[in-house]
Amino acid sequence: MDLPERIETGLQLALRLSTANGCPPLLAKGLRHAVFPGGARIRPRLCLAVATACGDRDPQAATAAAVGIELLHCASLVHDDMPCFDNAATRRGQTSVHTEFGEDIALLVGDGLIVAAFETVARETLHNPRLTAPLIATIAKAVGSPYGLVAGQAWESEPEIDITQYHRAKTASLFAGAVSAGALASGGSPQDWLTLADALGSAYQVADDLYDAIGLTGSMGKPVGQDGRNGKPNIAMSLGIPAVLKHLRTLVETAADSVPDCAGRDAFRAMIRNEATRLMPKTLSVSAA
């Protein structure tokens, strides 16, 4: 199986178990709506790419970590779209979960996905018990409080935001978690990959801000111009488009250059540059090439 196939098969299994016979029907529909069809699955792909670069010594554990990370990302999108945050009616080109099923189901879908993420890692590492706790601790750190996704989201409710701390928690932390978990699952060293995670996470946040600022739906499939309306910090609005495009290119080069010495180093660097092209808004891609 190639990487995307491992991810989709793993997600299908996790969802089949979470929506098994006896599950309240609306919850089951909401859970599937939140995960399928997916977006670019960039975080789990990154996780598996690092695991592969480190020798892919335990493919089952690496896939479980990748699936757990994607489930947590999906959970955060569902909760982030709710009226008390972005109040977004669409996501990935379809209705958001709360628009389709109501706020009550959306709240529970997010909760259920968080639980399913940790359940998946536990279930799929029973054969290799020494991996379970480190993988779960790494993933939990990336999404929880004080430095993960939950904290990142919470910075939006503060009267004063440190934009670096905010982006680090809201976006970079899950990239770091994906990379670290991929390395751990293959017996590699997470430390060797953290510069890459940090640069790539920042690049994604900057690209997201850029799409929002220039009014393109882009690959995220969500409404644009929300940051300005919601009073959220947006680096593209504060620095201006040309400076931000330059910043984005620097981040991508930093990420590519930081790939440590490993079997598939050149392929990995090519993948990152390729990913970066996909990141750039098409209308700006000539000037940003």
**Could you list the residues that contact a copy of itself (CB under 8 A)?**
17-28, 31, 75, 79, 82, 84-85, 102-105, 107-108, 110-112, 114-116, 118-119, 121-123, 125-126, 129-130, 132-134, 136-137, 140-141, 143-148, 150-151, 153-158, 165
Closer Cβ to a copy of itself, 120 or 186, answer by number: 120
Q: Are 166 and 33 in contact (CB under 8 A)?
A: no
- CA–CA separation, 61 vs 135, rounded Å? 9
Closer Cβ to a copy of itself, 69 or 280, answer by number: 69
Closer Cβ to a copy of itself, 153 or 219, answer by number: 153
Closer Cβ to a copy of itself, 106 or 248, answer by number: 106
Residue 90 backbone dihedrals phi, psi, to 5 degrees: -130, 160
Q: Are 132 and 122 in contact (CB under 8 A)?
A: yes
Two tokens, residue 101 = 């099923």
To the nearest whole angstrom, how small is the minimum distance from the Cβ of residue 33 to a copy of itself? 14
Neighbouring C-beta atoms of residue 263, cutoff 10 Å? 12
To the nearest whole angstrom, how small is the minimum distance from the Cβ of residue 232 to a copy of itself? 12
- CA–CA separation, 160 vs 137, rounded Å? 29
Q: Are 239 and 247 in contact (CB under 8 A)?
A: yes
b/e map 19-44, b = 16+ CB within 10 Å = beeeeeeebbbbbebbbeebbebbbb
To the nearest whole angstrom, how small is the minimum distance from the Cβ of residue 217 to a copy of itself? 24
To the nearest whole angstrom, how small is the minimum distance from the Cβ of residue 78 to a copy of itself? 11
To the nearest whole angstrom, how small is the minimum distance from the Cβ of residue 165 to a copy of itself? 7
Closer Cβ to a copy of itself, 67 or 236, answer by number: 67
CA–CA–CA angle 124, 128, 132 (5° rounding) = 65
To the nearest whole angstrom, how small is the minimum distance from the Cβ of residue 28 to a copy of itself? 7
Closer Cβ to a copy of itself, 84 or 267, answer by number: 84
- CA–CA separation, 251 vs 86, rounded Å? 27
